[in-house]
């Protein structure tokens, strides 16, 4: 009992004076508590924590996204993504005693930057270079990761994301705007833009994977840098 009280105090003290005071440590098997704690911590983490080496997620700068797949070559540069701080966590499984953890987030994000497209967009030939905007309403992303405990630079146990994968689906819609398609030829550009916006779900599945991958990578990097900076015992009670 005494030990229990001391431990309880230790947890309260570490929660209040620790490196991450915005995180309420939960028992690792308690998903209800973990979900509430993660949701509460999200805006702090998304804003960036320079003292912990955690880069901001909102706005998120992605210098380069490119892919060459299915006959379409795509290069997005100087990309800025906003909205990640308002993501809702729909579900979380973070029982560190199991090899697999998962988080489901639901976000509405806006992304803009410079694009270069050439090739075939599903069925239509497409060509162009200029500014772009993509607005995605309610993308649900499931991230599954393997988290291990490793010894940190401070000599304490830390969580470490060993590997991860993701899957996504857009629930409401996505809107695409590509300025200067076909060098500004509106007769060629308008049908392509109409096609994209009428078939936003196909475009999201076939064209957006490298975009979503870049966003999820940044989220996982942020989680990993938080795990690296903050010992496991400040993030959960084991």
Residues in contact with ligand NAG by CB under 6 A are 27, 30, 32-33
- Measured from the CB atom, the residue of 27 and 68 that comes closer to ligand NAG is 27
**Looking at beta carbons only, is 32 or 97 nearer to ligand NAG?**
32
Measured from the CB of residue 33, what is the shortest distance to ligand NAG in angstroms?
Answer: 3
Provide the token pair at 187: 């007769």
**What's the closest the beta carbon of residue 236 comes to ligand NAG, in angstroms?**
12
Residue with tokens 């599903």: 122
Smallest distance from ligand NAG to CB 71, Å:
50
Closest approach of ligand NAG to the CB of residue 92, in Å: 12
Nearest residue (beta carbon) to ligand NAG: 33
Q: Which of 30, 225 has the CB closer to ligand NAG?
A: 30
Closer residue to ligand NAG in complex, CB, 11/220: 11
């Amino acid at each position: 009992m005494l030990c229990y009280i001391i431990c309880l105090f230790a947890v309260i003290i570490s929660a209040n004076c620790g490196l991450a005071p915005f995180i309420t440590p939960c028992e690792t098997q308690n998903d209800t508590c973990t979900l509430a704690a993660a949701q509460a911590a999200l805006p702090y983490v998304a804003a960036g924590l320079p003292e912990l080496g955690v880069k901001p997620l909102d706005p998120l700068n992605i210098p380069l996204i490119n892919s060459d797949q299915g006959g379409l070559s795509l290069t997005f540069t100087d990309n800025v993504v906003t909205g990640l701080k308002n993501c809702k966590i729909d579900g979380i499984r973070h029982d560190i005693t199991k090899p697999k953890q998962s988080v489901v987030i639901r976000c509405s994000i806006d992304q803009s930057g410079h694009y270069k497209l050439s090739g075939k967009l599903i069925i239509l030939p497409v060509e162009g270079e200029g500014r772009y905007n993509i607005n995605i309403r309610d993308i649900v992303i499931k991230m599954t990761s393997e988290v291990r405990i490793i010894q940190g630079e401070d000599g304490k146990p830390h969580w470490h994301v060993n590997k991860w994968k993701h899957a996504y689906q857009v629930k409401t819609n996505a809107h695409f705007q590509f300025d200067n398609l076909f060098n500004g030829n509106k007769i060629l550009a308008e049908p392509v833009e109409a096609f994209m916006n009428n078939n936003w779900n196909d475009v999201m599945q076939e064209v957006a994977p490298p975009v979503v991958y870049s966003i999820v990578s940044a989220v996982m990097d942020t989680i990993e840098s938080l795990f690296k900076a903050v010992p496991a015992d400040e993030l959960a009670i084991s």
